[in-house]
Amino acid sequence: MGRVRWSLSESELKSRDKWQSIFMPSGSIVAGRIDDEHWLTFGTPNTIPVLYSNLPILMARSYVDAPVRIGQMIPNKKLTNQGL
């Protein structure tokens, strides 16, 4: 098996580093949002604590069937109050 080589632009690397720095230091606990229709998450609450390490987070597109996604959906009160 050959190695997969990733070639990301400098701006993409900076963007990913900025986003991942939110979860630093290693060992932070973040919210995991559960897909309640996925068989792997049967019987779990809607949100679970997820221990973040120094490994990169795999980011799946919206159409991918992921049992757990990082982050909890919170309504934006500014947009709600403006009627948007």
pLDDT of 37 higher than 70: yes
Residue 12's pLDDT band (boundaries 50, 70, 90)? confident
Give the whole-number percent of the chain exceeding pLDDT 70.
79
* Length of the chain as a residue count: 84
The reported pLDDT for the residue numbered 25 is 63
Let me know: does 65 contact 38? Beta carbons within 8 Å: yes
Beta bridge mates, 34: 68
Whole-model pTM: value is 0.54
The reported pLDDT for the residue numbered 34 is 93
For the ranges 4-8, 17-21, 43-47, the maximum mean pLDDT occurs at 43-47
Q: For the sheet containing 47-51, what is the strand order? A: 47-51, 29-34, 68-70
- How far is CA 46 from each of CA 55, 60, 63, 66, rounded to the nearest angstrom? 24, 19, 19, 14
Each residue's pLDDT tens digit, 56-83: 667 777 788 889 888 777 777 776 655 5
Which DSSP letter does residue 42 get? T
